[in-house]
Amino acid sequence: MSPYRQLLRTLVPAVAALVLAAPAAVAQDTKIKFQLDWRFEGPSALFLLTKAKGYFAQEKLDVEIDAGNGSGNAVNRVASGTYPMGFADLAALIEFVGNNPTAPAKPVAVMMVYDSTPAAVFSLKKTGIKSPSDLHGRKMGAPVFDAGRRAFPIFVKANRLDASKIAWTAMDPPLRETMLARGDVDAITGFYFTSLLNLNARGIKDEDVDVMMYPKYGVNLYGNAIIVSEAFLKEKPEAVRGFLRAMTKGIRDVVADPDGAIRYVKERDALVDEALEKRRMRLAVDSVIATPTAKADGIGGVQPARLADMVTQVSAAFELKSAVKPEQVWNGSYLPPQADRRIFR
């Protein structure tokens, strides 16, 4: 037999085997559309880095990450089945469950990413607002769906304020910091690493801003978590476990190098201000991710008593239609082992 024929006899079966095997390999990948809570900014590096480094692919997951426009919308899209998974403020999830008791598919949180709420009250130092009681007689502003505004009744109760002495003005998100800078309102609510940098972008320096972080003023709420639809949780439990294993690796890498992680945001949206987003990412890590609790217990989990207290506070503040139990909004059984989640060395 000629060398050419012998080569063909060797190659043809091998190529045929690869062709037959390829569809099977692709079929093993589970496709997941993932809904962020906001546009592509520093904190979205937590997800974009995880994808870019192949951590999802290692779990046989084909993940598509989309920008969002608020936690409430992220919850609704997961509840509707448009997205099987998403990223949203836990208070928004509690609100949905409490106001939609008969909804056929209620999302559930499976991994806590922001161990503490980033909500805060911002004011300019020239207004003289230095403590919660200084808000009496003032005008505050925020979008109606803003997490800080929604949770403000909890801030009021924790600091013994009289809500009737505080006026509110609603506006679209892009106008919030502008109206504070112009003096149209005396104070605003917003996420710490969002509103502070938005004020900087409007020419206001850190030293000219007073910030009252909710956790420092008695509002001990959890922040954003990864949420999953009930249907996807039942249909693809191993995919959810794989997703959370991948995220644990991704969060570890972002915490280790927040600045370096922003390259993956820049790759997704070339228009982002890289220097600004590096600072935003560092603020997020320092304020809500690398908390004392997360450092001690590992990322991703919750403390049952604290979760129960949050459910009670949010239920009362939001005047929900039905009572909510912690187990309706949280399921930590899909998390990686605690030892793997101790990412702070």
220-250 pLDDT tens trace: 999 999 999 999 999 999 999 999 999 999 9
Q: What is the pLDDT of residue 70?
A: 87
Query: What's the average model confidence in pLDDT over 107-122?
Result: 97
Q: Which residue has the higher pLDDT, 144 or 138?
A: 138
CATH of domain 29-115+222-341: 3.40.190.10
The model carries a pTM of: 0.89
User: For strand 30-35 and strand 85-89, is the pairing parallel, antiparallel, or unpaired?
Assistant: parallel
Average pLDDT for residues 328-338, to the nearest whole number? Answer: 98
pLDDT at 12 over 60: no
Average pLDDT over residues 208-213: 98
Rounded distance between C-alpha atoms, residue 197 and residue 141, angstroms: 17
Range picked from 66-70, 146-150, 170-174, 245-249 for highest mean pLDDT: 245-249
Specify the pLDDT at position 65.
98
Task: Give residue 5's pLDDT band: very low, low, confident or very high (50, 70, 90).
Answer: low
| 119-217 matches 29-115+222-341 in CATH topology | yes
Determine the average pLDDT of the residues in 119-129: 97
Q: Where are the domains of the chain?
A: 29-115+222-341, 119-217
Average the pLDDT over each of 17-26, 81-90, 107-116, 308-317 and give the range with the smallest value.
17-26
Tokens of 266: 């820049």
CA angle 222, 225, 231 (to 5 degrees): 135
323 — pLDDT class (breaks 50, 70, 90): very high
Model confidence band, residue 180 (pLDDT cutoffs 50, 70, 90): very high
Q: Are 189 and 142 in contact (CB under 8 A)?
A: yes
Share of the chain above pLDDT 90, in %: 87
The predicted structure's pLDDT at residue 26: 46
Beta strand 139-141 with 167-169: parallel, antiparallel or unpaired?
parallel
pLDDT in tens, 14-41: 545 544 554 444 457 999 999 999 999 9
Round the average pLDDT of the chain to a whole number and report it.
Answer: 92
CATH code, residues 119-217? 3.40.190.10
Between the alpha carbon of residue 73 and those of residues 47, 146, 170, 273, 287, the distances in Å are 18, 12, 18, 25, 24
pLDDT tens for residues 262-285?
999 999 999 999 999 999 999 999
Please compute the mean of the pLDDT values over residues 76-87 and round it to a whole number. Answer: 97
